[in-house]
Amino acid sequence: MKCANLAVLLVFLQSVIALNATSTTLQNVPFANVTGSLNDNGVCQCSVYLPDTVFPVQKVEILEITAQVLSEKFERELTKVSQYTKAIEMYEQKIRNLTLKVEHMESTSVSYTELDFQLLKLEINEMERLVTQLKSTLVGSNVIVEQLYVEIKNLTLMVNDLESLDKNNILAIHREIVALQNRLKECEKHRNQTTTPSYFPPGSCGHGGIVNISQPYVVQLNWRGFSFKYGSWGRDYSLRTPQKDLYWVAPLNPDGRLLEYYRLHNSYDDLLLLKNARELRIQYGEGSGTAVYNNFMYYNVYSSRDMGKLDLNTNTLTVRKTLLNAAYGNRFSYAGVGWQDMDFAVDESGLWVIYSTEDNTGNVMISKLNETTLDVLHTWNTRQYKPSISNAFIVCGVLYATRPVNTRKEEIFYTYDTNTEQEGKISIIMDKMLETIQSINYNPSDQILYVYNDGYLVKYNLIFQPVLH
């Protein structure tokens, strides 16, 4: 019985060895001729001869892992080759198109600009970059890639030759023009730095108008804070006491419409140090078109076409008069600045108001006022649409209008001379601290523009040109 069990065990061992020894000599080992014997105790004994070689299971596992890794790498490289093949086909087509362009340029007598050559060069450089990348990526030599690289190099040489053989020398002339323009700019810059601006006494109009403007000088943020972006400020122009300083700051409420509080400073130092200020309240003003002249504040009365004259000594409204037919209610305000339907201005000759009417289809109108009674003395109609300009001021009877160039520059671009009733176009660039200019007030006593720029108080010096005889 024990021998029978042993025989079964031998058959099982043979099956196991056969399964785990595929493709080895173990499958061919004979196990059938096994002999057995009984010992003295009647126990069956037998001998099994196994081959000397042990099956390398661990090595087989390592081989399987290595094969899997190699298979994944092969798949990745195969994907790359597919992508590069598509890219090569695309750039082959581009090369054919470029070749046609270059051949056309070479065969015709038409002169091309430098931009044409630069565009060709950019396309060729892009293809050269890709082909160089392909060469470094692909292992070994690739005939297609090498051929592409040679063709691209030939195209580069051809374009360079075409550029140097421009038949009408247009490119050479263009370069000369650019060089001359740069020299002219340098000369103009040097002239502006070395020439002293002509001096004109305050209150004088013996000049030929504004020719330039200084860089902005930021005085400070308005006393009510950054949230009060709209408003106006300036210096009183007083014919009675020209030596006396009076600075005023009138921020609007955060709604950008209501003028409720203002401050007065008796000197520039007091303004800078925010001391000795008189804070007063108006019942009520509208918009940032406020001006101060001879110790009176002039403004648009809230939600009306009325003009108000406020005595700064007593903070009382002494005159209120309707400006006939004037548009109001934010109808024709400046571009980017709401509720400035009336913009009061002061120059060497006195008080003005800038506004629009429905009859004048929103174009700028200028009226000279009697500062005592607010009666209109004379009116001029312009052809400049008021909502298309960002602000305006008057110097020696000439209206100057501004418009934004970008977030950091403004341009004085339009003039209307009430002395000659002539319109004009100029271009004087103003640098600005922030994007929107809410008001501009000119003061004849110091020839300075007082600008309210997104809550900041900013000053500009004006430069006038002498009258040419």
Q: What is the DSSP string of 417-461?
A: ETTTTEEEEEEEEEE-SSS-EEEEEEETTTTEEEEEETTEEEEEE
Give me the pLDDT at residue 15, please.
Answer: 54
- Residue whose entry in the numeric block shows the structure tokens 């058959």: 11
CA triplet 196, 466, 386: central angle to 5 degrees? 110
pLDDT 10s digits, 270-293: 999 999 999 999 988 999 999 999
User: Which residue do the tokens 């500062």 mark?
Assistant: 371
- Rounded CA gap, 439 and 105, in Å? 56
Looking from the CA of 64 toward its CB, the CA atoms found within 13 Å total 6
Angle between helix axes 114-137 and 143-164 (nearest 10 degrees) is: 160
CB 396 within 8 A of CB 404: no
Angstrom distances, CA of residue 73 to CA of 31, 83, 135:
45, 15, 19
Residue 182: in which H helix or E strand, if any? helix 170-194
Query: 417, 431 in Cβ contact below 8 A?
Result: no
Q: 115-140 burial, b for 16+ CB within 10 Å, e for fewer?
A: ebbeebeebbeebbebbeebeeeeee
Output the pLDDT for position 25. 44
The C-alpha atoms of residue 456 and residue 327 are separated, in whole angstroms, by 29
The residues, any chain, with a CB within 8 Å of residue 244's CB and separated by 6 or more, are: 236, 238
Ranges of residues in the chain whose predicted pLDDT is under 70: 1-36, 47-55, 57, 102-120, 127, 130-131, 133-181, 183-196, 241-243, 468-469
The counts of H helices and E strands in the chain are 6, 22
Please tell me the predicted confidence (pLDDT) of residue 181. Answer: 64
> Alpha-carbon distance 339 to 313, whole Å?
27
* H runs (alpha helix) in 53-169: 57-107, 114-137, 143-164
Query: Could you report the per-residue pLDDT of 315-362, keeping only the tens digit for each?
Result: 999 999 999 999 999 999 999 999 999 999 999 999 999 999 999 999
pLDDT of residue 196: 67
Instruction: Report pLDDT for 109.
Output: 46
- Show the tokens assigned to 218: 């930021």
Identify the pLDDT of residue 236. 96
For residue 173, give the H/E element and its range: helix 170-194
pLDDT at 175: 64
On whether the CB atoms of residues 459 and 216 are closer than 8 A, the answer is yes
CA distance 342 to 321: 13
Query: pLDDT value at position 23?
Result: 42
Quick one: which of 297, 288, 307, 274 has its CA closest to 228? 288
Q: What whole-number distance in Å separates Cα of residue 120 and Cα of residue 102?
A: 9
- Residues in contact with 40: Cβ distance below 8 Å, sequence separation at least 6, in sequence order: none
Taking alpha carbons only, the member of 146, 143, 160, 63 closest to residue 102 is 160
